[in-house]
């Protein structure tokens, strides 16, 4: 039985050149294009240039259609022999696929047996300390399963790789100290000793930065506790700095700059003598400040001493009452007499009430 394929021989006469009027068409093309060759169009002739371009493109389209028709005519004779050759190639490929399936099945069986042998070598070399950390699939090189690599060579490479991983884990335990667990996790991520050592250095730098920040914070607290607390210039008395005394919660809440402001009408503006007489009368009768603030809020009744302390100021004061008489600088000046007071939100004017 011969295994050589008979050479396909095609016996066909020489294809003659098609007869046509190509010479006549060539002469026509030359004469037509002579009118457009080298012609320069002005700006006013752009519309004519577009029409000439369309005409030339139509000639090109006609020549293309003639070329396609000629090619189709001569290739039609090859359809039948080409179809028979394609069918024969299909038969050959079908038989080849059947043989290839059997060959691949045998090769896969050989690779499977070789993999099982390497797994046995891995269990003997890895032991109980390395096997849980580095699985067999992570150290297996797919090239070891090919026929070009023998089982002995693959086993040697496998043992060498396992020893490398064991040594790397030992270096991590001896070097990283308290960060050994985190560095081991980083090593097992990509089986790279450099990544594990970089993680150890990163953690060391982070701890040093935290220690420096904590030391700076404690130093600032020590300086702040050792230095005296001085009041701003507007809180100083007689130009001398004094420490701010501790305040009870009630007084601390009432010491806000806006607490206790009153805004009486300009008619209450009095001279010093009248204020003194009114304060004296209030001291005798127990009279206190107006019952409402500038916003229309009710104020609690205060003692006469509080009103007297507020009215005995040397300067003109338009506020008869302060919730914190010890700090007379917190007062709000009244608008100039003669100017109309602005209407507060939510407060109806007297004319509207009338």
Residue 320's pLDDT band (cuts 50, 70, 90) = very low
Q: Is residue 266 part of a domain?
A: yes
Residue 318 forms part of a structural domain:
yes
- SS3 per-residue string spanning the chain: CCCCCCCCCCCCCCCCCCCCCHHHHHHHHHHHHHCCCCCCCCHHHHHHHHHHHHHHHHHHHHHHHHHHHHHHHHHHHHHHHHHHHHHHHHHHHHHHHHHHHHHHHHHHHHHHHHHHHHHHHHHHHHHHHHCCCCCHHHHCCHHHHCCCCCHHHHHHHHHHHHHHHHHHHHHHHHHHHHHHHHHHHHHHHHCCHHHHHHHHHHHHHHHHHHHHHHHHHHHHHHHHHHCCCECCHHHCECCECCECCCCCHHHHHHCCCCCCCCCCCHHHCCCHHHHHHHHHHHHHHCCCCCCECCCCCECCCCCHHHHHHHHCCCCCCCCCCCCCCCCCCCCCCCCCCCCCCCCCCCCCCHHHHC
Flag whether pLDDT at 171 surpasses 60.
yes
The per-residue pLDDT for 7 is 78
Give a yes or no: residue 290 inside a domain: yes
**pLDDT per residue as tens digits for the range 152-162:** 999 999 999 99
Q: Residue 304 falls within a domain, yes or no?
A: yes
Cβ pair 17, 25 in contact under 8 A: no
Per-residue model confidence (pLDDT) at position 312: 46
In terms of residue numbers, what domain contains 296? 259-335
Quote the pTM value. 0.47
Is 269 a member of any domain?
yes
Which comes out higher in pLDDT, residue 219 or 305? 219
Residue 44 lies in a domain: no
Q: Answer yes or no: is pLDDT of 213 > 80.
A: yes
What percentage of the chain exceeds 70 in pLDDT? Answer: 63
Q: Is residue 302 part of a domain?
A: yes
Pick the more confident residue, 282 or 11.
11
Q: What is the mean pLDDT of the chain?
A: 76
Over residues 317-330, mean pLDDT: 47
**pLDDT tens column, 188-200:** 999 999 999 999 9
Is 113 part of any domain? no
For 215-271, the pLDDT digits (tens) are: 999 999 998 888 776 666 665 555 444 455 555 555 444 444 444 444 444 444 444
Give the model's confidence band at 97: pLDDT under 50 very low, under 70 low, under 90 confident, else very high.
Answer: very high
Per-residue pLDDT at 325: 52
Answer yes or no: is pLDDT of 8 > 90. no
Phi first, then psi: give them for residue 230, nearest 5 degrees: -110, 145
Residue 306 predicted with pLDDT over 60: no
Total number of domains in the chain: 1
Q: Measure the CA–CA gap between 331 and 323, rounded to whole angstroms.
A: 10
């Amino acid at each position: 039985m011969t295994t050589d394929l008979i050479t396909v021989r095609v016996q066909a006469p020489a294809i003659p050149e098609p007869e046509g009027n190509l010479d006549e068409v060539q002469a026509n093309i030359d004469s037509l294009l002579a009118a457009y060759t080298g012609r320069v169009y002005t700006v006013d002739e752009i519309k004519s240039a577009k029409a000439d371009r369309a005409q030339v493109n139509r000639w090109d389209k006609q020549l293309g259609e003639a070329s396609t028709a000629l090619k189709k005519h001569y290739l039609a004779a090859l359809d039948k022999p080409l179809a028979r050759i394609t069918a024969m190639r299909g038969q050959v490929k079908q038989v080849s696929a059947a043989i290839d399936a059997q060959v691949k099945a045998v090769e896969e069986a050989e690779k499977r047996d070789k993999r099982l042998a390497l797994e046995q070598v891995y269990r003997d070399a890895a032991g109980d300390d390395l096997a849980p950390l580095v699985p067999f699939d992570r150290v297996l090189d797919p090239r070891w399963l090919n026929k070009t690599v023998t089982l002995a060579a693959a086993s040697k490479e496998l043992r060498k790789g396992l020893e490398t991983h064991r040594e790397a884990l030992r270096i991590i335990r001896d070097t990283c100290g308290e960060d050994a667990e985190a560095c081991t996790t980083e090593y097992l991520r990509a089986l790279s000793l450099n990544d594990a050592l970089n993680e150890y250095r990163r953690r060391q730098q982070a701890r040093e930065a935290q220690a420096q920040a904590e030391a700076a914070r404690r130093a600032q607290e020590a300086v702040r506790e050792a230095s005296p607390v001085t009041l701003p210039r507007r809180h100083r008395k007689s130009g001398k700095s004094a420490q701010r005394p501790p305040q009870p919660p009630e007084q601390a809440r009432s010491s806000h700059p806006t607490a206790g402001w009153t805004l009486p009408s300009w008619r209450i503006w009095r001279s010093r003598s009248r204020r003194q007489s009114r304060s004296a009368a209030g001291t005798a009768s127990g009279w206190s400040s107006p019952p409402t603030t500038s916003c229309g809020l009710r104020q609690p009744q205060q003692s006469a001493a509080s009103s007297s302390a507020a009215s005995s100021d040397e300067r003109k004061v338009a506020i008869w009452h302060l919730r914190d008489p010890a700090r007379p600088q917190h007062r709000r000046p009244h608008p100039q007499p003669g100017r109309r007071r602005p209407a507060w939100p939510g407060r109806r004017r007297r004319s509207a009430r009338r």
